[in-house]
Amino acid sequence: MDIADLINLDTIIPDMKATSKKQILQELANKAEKVLDRPSHEIVDVLVERERLGTTGVGHGVAIPHGKIPGLDRLYGIFARLNQPVDYDSLDGEPVDLIFMLLAPEAAGADHLKALAKVSRLLRDKSTCEKLRGSEGGDAIHAILTSTSKNSNAA
């Protein structure tokens, strides 16, 4: 699985304006509603429930909120870069500004875990995160995410 299988230009938010974790999750759900044709409240509920188990703020300014949505046909990703870092209750206590939401079908099982691992590896790379933070617009973000992902497959 490639990052390009999860995201496209329509699922990138290059300049999200949010001031709280709750608002971030709502904005991501609003975007997902358009892509998945699912009510945003259903998506928010899944994300909030997952956050109750433990934060998805993995550190170094990165969060990977995720959950399983009944009836999805495949895995979906939505990437957002915040215009200002926001407190996200991250493991390292640092605010986040790069967020990759992953939504999976209920029966995704191993595919969901593989996709989470792939996104986590990608966003653990400091160079990739610096490029994402310094890029201009959704096209550039998409190119960074998908080309870096392909390069990591070859390694």
Does residue 142 carry a catalytic annotation? no
> 102-137 burial, b if ≥16 CB within 10 A, otherwise e?
bbbbeebeeebeebbebbeebbeeeebbebbeebee
pLDDT at 19: 95
The domain spanning residue 138 has which CATH number?
Answer: 3.40.930.10
CA neighbor of 44 nearest in space, from 77, 13, 69: 69
CB-CB contact of 10 with 77 (8 Å): no
- How far apart, in Å, do the first and last CA atoms of the chain sit? 15
Report the predicted TM-score, pTM, of the whole model to 2 decimal places: 0.93
pLDDT in tens, 54-99: 999 999 999 999 999 988 999 999 999 999 999 999 999 999 999 9
pLDDT at 37: 87
Residue 140 pLDDT more than 50? yes
> Over 18-72, what HEC string results?
CCCHHHHHHHHHHHHHHHHCCCHHHHHHHHHHHHHHCCCEEECCEECCEEEECCC
What DSSP assignment string belongs to 78-144?
Answer: EEEEEEEEE----TTS--EEEEEEEEEETT-THHHHHHHHHHHHHHH-HHHHHHHHH--HHHHHHHH
Residue 150 pLDDT more than 80? no
Residue 151 pLDDT more than 90? no
CB-CB contact of 56 with 65 (8 Å): yes
CB-CB contact of 19 with 38 (8 Å): no
pLDDT in tens, 120-134: 999 999 999 999 999
Per-residue confidence band for 149, with pLDDT thresholds at 50, 70 and 90: low
- Domain span at residue 17 reads 3-154
Of 60, 66, 112, 142, the catalytic one is: 66
Torsion sign across C-alpha atoms 112, 7, 25, 63: positive
Q: Count of domains in the chain?
A: 1
